[in-house]
Amino acid sequence: MAHIAGPTTPIRNDNAAKRGPDVERLLALQAFNARMVCMTVDETSYQEVVNGVWKVMGCDFCSLFLHDEQTRSLKLVASVGYEELDPELSISLADSASMHIQAFTEEYLVHVDDLTDQFGIKTLSAELRSSLAMPIIANSGPVGVFDFGSREAGAFSPSEISMCSMLVDQMSYSLENIRLVNELSRSRDAVIRGMALLAEIRDSHIGGHLNRICAYSKYLSEQLLDRPGYGEVTPSFIDTIARSAALHDVGKVGIPDAILLKPGKLTGPEFEVIKSHTTMGAELLEGLMKDYGEYGMITMGAEMAIAHHEKWDGSGYPNGTTGMDIPLSARILTICDVYDALTSRRVYKDAWSAEDTISNIRENSGKQFDPELVKIFLARPADLEKIQALYPD
C-alpha cells in the first residue's frame, strides 16, 4: 500500500548489491558530499546532483522536479534511468494521483512498496515496481521533489529510506544556493540591461532592437554549437551572448546629444567622437568588473563593445583588428547588428527588404564580416524573419 511517513533516510536492490561492499557506498557518499561543496552553482548542476545521488544509491531510477510558481506545477529538471521520460514533463499541483504532488503538498515522503498492488497512482515508468518520493524543503518551504525508483518490489528498506532522506536533506542546501544565485543573477542582469536600454533611449530607436539583437546573436551561436572550429561555443556561451549582446552600444551614454542625435551628416571630428563609444563602453564595463568582480555577461559585453565595429579586413575601428583576431562574440554581433539596422525603420531611413539586406551582407562577406559566419547566419532566412516578427518596433 502507498503510505505517507515522516522523513527518515540509499535503497537496496540488485544494482546496489552488484556494486560491492558497503565501503563502496561510503566512498560514493564521500565523493557526493565533496561535489556538493565545490560544484558550479547554476542550473547545469541539477543533472550532476541527480547523477551523484544515483551513484550513491545504486537504484534503477532517480529524478528531480522543482516547483514552478507561475504554472503551479512540478517541472522535471533532471533524471537518470527514465529513458522514455519527456524532458519537458510538468505535473500539475492539482494532480492528486501523482506521488510527487502528494509528497510536495503534504511535505512528507510517499513510499509505495509494490505498485502492482496500487490502482490510480500515476508513475513515471511502466517498469517501476517500488517508488519513493521525497519533498525538498528549503527555508521558504517545499521547493521540489526527488524520487527514487526500482524495478523490484520492496526495494526500499527503512535503512535505505533513511539514507535517501539524508541525501535529499544535503541536496536541499545546494538547490537553495542555486536558487539564490539565480535570483541574484536575474537582478544583476536587469540592472545591466537597464543601462543598455538607457543608451538605446538616447539614440531614439528603442523598439524591439535590443531583443532582436540578443535573439539574432543567440540564433547564430546555436548554429555553431558542436560545429568543428567553434569549440568555445558551449550552452553557457550561447546563454551569455543572448544576454550580453544588449551591451554592445552602452558607450553611447557618453556621446553628447548634439552629435549622437544629429539628423544630418557628421563632420570628421564628430565621427571620431561617435567612434569613441566603443572604447567608452568597454572602459565602463571593465570598470564595473574592477569594482565589483568578474561576471560573464559583463566580460563578454566589454569584448563586444570594443570590437563590434572592427571589420574582417582590418578597416574597422577602434584598433583595426583583423580576421580571427576579432573575438568570436563581436564577429557574431557585428553581423546581427547590421542585419537588424538595415531591416529596421529609422527616422533617417526606411527599412530595407530582407532580400536587399541579405544581398548587402553577402557583398561585404570577407570585407566587413567573417565569411563563414555570414554563410551560417543567412542559411535559413525564414528563421531570421520569424525573430524579427517576434520583436517588432
| pLDDT at residue number 11 | 40
d(CA 196, CA 302): 12
| pLDDT at residue number 17 | 45
| pLDDT at residue number 369 | 97
Quickly name the fold that domain 203-390 has: Hypothetical protein af1432 (1.10.3210)
| pLDDT at residue number 183 | 58
Task: Identify residue 236 by its one-letter amino acid code.
Answer: S
For 208-242, how does the pLDDT look when each residue is reduced to its tens digit (9 = 90+)?
A: 788 899 999 999 999 999 999 999 999 999 989 99
Instruction: Tell me if domain 2-180 and domain 203-390 are identical in fold.
Output: no
Collect the ranges in the chain with pLDDT lower than 50: 1-21, 36-41
Task: Identify residue 92 by its one-letter amino acid code.
Answer: S
Q: What angle do CA 27, 32, 34 make, to 5 degrees?
A: 95
| pLDDT at residue number 4 | 47
- The residue ranges of every structural domain in the chain are 2-180, 203-390
For 72-82, how does the pLDDT look when each residue is reduced to its tens digit (9 = 90+)?
A: 999 998 899 99
CATH superfamily of 2-180: GAF domain (3.30.450.40)
d(CA 267, CA 252): 18
3-35 b/e (C-beta count within 10 Å ≥ 16 → b): eeeebbbbbbbebbeeeeeeeebeebbeebeee
| pLDDT at residue number 13 | 44
363-389 b/e (C-beta count within 10 Å ≥ 16 → b): ebbeebbbeebbebbbeeeeebeebbe
Model pTM? 0.57
